[in-house]
């Protein structure tokens, strides 16, 4: 295993590069805990809202979501970028390239691939060397199966390829690349939140101020816009909580299919994602409409 400065690399091989994050054991643990906090806290916040008989305080809700979910999630993103790497195979070695270093692991020295049982902060794997020790760094990848297959083929080792049948690897393949871009996140949450915000805010204006622009006429444009932004931000958080709830059965059923019928995991996950999307993008407008239907 060698380490060189990337500036001296003249040949980078012809193999396809895989995006990854290279974590030491300690940093992987930190990223895993932050990721678990960011995801589970949304469900805990929702549970506290449902179990409480007090009116929702929007500012307190903002602080909870920001402190327990958004900040840890952003920390995971920053840590993943700091540990970003490109992985490929060249001349019988696994090459891991980062901004300021290049690591080479001869494939002949890899005895086994150990996928992470717990996919936190994402799916990934450890390398077990023939010396018996584990390589110091782990690789987080959206779908480790492609790299596992490539290592098995290059090393002509069925044992390495067998890691591709590990449940966590099958689960990663079923989920696919789940990370949303910032543009997609804006579309799914803040922009889509305008769908329920506009009619509900208008009704609030009619009830509280006697007209669609009642607050504007009584208190001015600043107060009117502040009220609208408060409604919009609150409903954006509600949609975030709703999406977290929808994801729970999707993940549970996916894990069940992976364990019981792994060949059908990809098809099952696609179906589950489509059902979840329908419940989200059609369910929210339907809930708003039903809110005003006289029963």
Tally of CB atoms within 10 A around 82: 12
Per-residue pLDDT of the chain (295 residues; tens, 9 = 90+): 444 433 333 333 334 688 999 999 999 999 999 999 999 999 999 999 999 888 889 999 999 999 999 999 999 999 999 999 999 999 899 999 999 899 999 999 999 999 999 999 999 999 999 999 999 899 999 889 999 999 988 878 888 889 999 999 999 999 985 666 666 777 889 999 999 999 999 999 999 999 989 899 999 999 999 999 999 999 999 999 999 999 999 999 999 999 999 999 999 999 999 999 999 999 999 999 998 876 6
**Residue 76's pLDDT is what?**
96
Residue 270 structure tokens: 């696609």
Smallest CA-to-CA distance from 105 within 62, 139, 78, 71 is with 139
pLDDT attached to residue 143: 87
Measured in whole angstroms, how far is the alpha carbon of residue 57 from the centre of its chain? 28
End-to-end CA distance of the chain: 71
- Going by C-alpha positions, the residue among 248, 246, 251 that lies closest to residue 275 is 246
The 10 Å Cβ neighbour count of residue 272 is: 20
Q: Name the residue ranges covered by the structural domains of the chain.
A: 2-31+80-175, 180-295
* Strands ordered across the beta sheet of 102-106: 2-4, 102-106, 93-97, 84-90, 18-24, 137-140, 124-129, 110-115
What is the domain class of 2-31+80-175 according to CATH?
mainly beta
The model carries a pTM of 0.86
């Amino acid at each position: 295993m060698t380490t060189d400065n990337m500036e001296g690399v003249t040949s980078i091989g012809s193999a396809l590069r895989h995006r990854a994050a290279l974590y030491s054991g300690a940093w992987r643990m930190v990223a895993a805990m932050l990721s678990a906090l960011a995801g589970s806290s949304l469900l805990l916040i929702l549970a506290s809202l449902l179990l409480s008989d007090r009116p929702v305080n929007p500012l307190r809700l903002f602080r909870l979501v920001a402190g327990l979910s958004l900040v840890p999630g952003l920390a995971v993103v920053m840590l993943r970028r700091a540990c970003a790497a490109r992985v490929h195979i060249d001349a019988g070695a696994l090459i891991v390239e980062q901004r300021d270093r290049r690591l080479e692991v001869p494939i002949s020295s890899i005895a086994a691939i150990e996928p992470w049982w717990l996919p936190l902060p994402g799916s990934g794997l450890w390398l077990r060397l023939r010396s018996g020790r584990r390589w110091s760094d782990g690789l987080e990848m959206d779908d480790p199966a492609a790299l596992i297959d490539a290592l098995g083929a290059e090393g002509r080792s069925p044992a390495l390829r067998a890691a591709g049948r590990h449940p966590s690897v099958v689960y990663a393949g079923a989920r696919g690349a789940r990370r949303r871009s910032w543009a997609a996140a804006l579309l799914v949450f803040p922009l889509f939140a305008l769908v329920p915000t506009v009619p509900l805010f208008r009704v609030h204006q009619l009830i509280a101020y006697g007209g669609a622009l009642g607050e504007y006429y009584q208190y001015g444009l600043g107060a009117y816009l502040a009220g609208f932004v408060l409604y919009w931000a609150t409903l954006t958080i509600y949609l975030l909580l709703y999406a977290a709830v929808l994801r729970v059965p999707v993940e549970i059923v996916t894990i069940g299919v992976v364990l019981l019928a792994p060949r059908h995991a990809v098809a099952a996950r696609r179906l589950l994602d489509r059902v979840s999307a329908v419940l989200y993008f059609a369910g929210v407008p339907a809930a708003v409409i039903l809110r005003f239907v006289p029963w």
